[in-house]
Chains A and B, each alone.
Chain A
Amino acid sequence: GDSVTQMEGPVTLSEEAFLTINCTYTATGYPSLFWYVQYPGEGLQLLLKATKADDKGSNKGFEATYRKETTSFHLEKGSVQVSDSAVYFCALSEGGSNYKLTFGKGTLLTVNP
């Protein structure tokens, strides 16, 4: 079945550091890929998405590129802020009638001033 493997956390960075959170996936078809962010005490918010190979999703300075050849969707940001501290989830959906999201386990990011 489908699965998502993302970098184990926690990740601790200083403000303005470069961020990479690795995400690789296994799927039988051609999934859509997502990054969701969960701030403390809140639900999940869609951060960015990509629906086909070589698509780049971007939002709030974060980027991720859908790499079919390496089955990866790594999240990057050039300069993190304290306000980026949250749990980040990589997810995929194969479509079909359910369009279920299959999530990775999440990566806790803490950014220190």
Chain B
Amino acid sequence: EAQVTQNPRYLITVTGKKLTVTCSQNMNHEYMSWYRQDPGLGLRQIYYSMNVEVTDKGDVPEGYKVSRKEKRNFPLILESPSPNQTSLYFCASRPGTAQPQHFGDGTRLSIL
């Protein structure tokens, strides 16, 4: 089954404790992206990747890092999480230009 898989689905942690949210897709998509969803703000793009070893900032990249060492994986790294990063995070991928993005089921992060 074609899917985008995120882990963990839920995480409660404390300020400053490094964490990684994994994202994996099995559709051989070149493009992957991370969004965060906040009430009243909709979804905003954090980072994206056009292909292996090619990443770039989205609209709200501060406090986040990403890497793309393999085509299928695009982890989101919070080196020193802070409470303002409490949010619902979605990973997405798409096969090529002008094709719709496929979304994962989301990861709810709570930073205390």
Which A residues are within 8 Å of any B CB, using their own CB?
Answer: 4, 32, 34, 36, 41-46, 49, 51, 89, 95, 97-101, 103-106
Contacts and interface: CB of A to CB of B under 8 A. Distances in A.
Interface stretch (B36-44, B70-78, B79-87): B36-44
A46 B50 CA distance: 21
Interface residues of B, number: 27
B58 interface: yes
B98 A105 contact: no
A99 B97 contact: yes
A49 B58 contact: no
Given A98-B56, A100-B33, A44 B103 contact: yes
- Tell me if A's interface is mostly helix, strand, loop or mixed: loop
Interface of B: 4, 31, 33, 35, 40-45, 48, 50, 56, 58-59, 90, 92, 94, 97-98, 100-106
Contact of A46 (B4, B44, B48, B100): B100
A4 B43 CA distance: 11
Contact of B43 (A49, A97, A101): A101
Given A44-B103, A89-B42, 19 more contacts: A36-B103, A41-B105, A42-B105, A43-B4, A43-B90, A43-B103, A44-B92, A46-B100, A46-B102, A51-B98, A95-B97, A95-B98, A98-B48, A98-B56, A100-B58, A101-B101, A103-B42, A103-B44, A104-B42
B103 to A, nearest CB: 4
A29 to B, nearest CB: 13
B103 A45 contact: yes
A39 to B, nearest CB: 10
Name the 6 nearest CB pairs between A and B, nearest first: A103-B42, A43-B103, A44-B103, A105-B42, A43-B105, A103-B43
A99 B30 CA distance: 12
A99 B103 contact: no
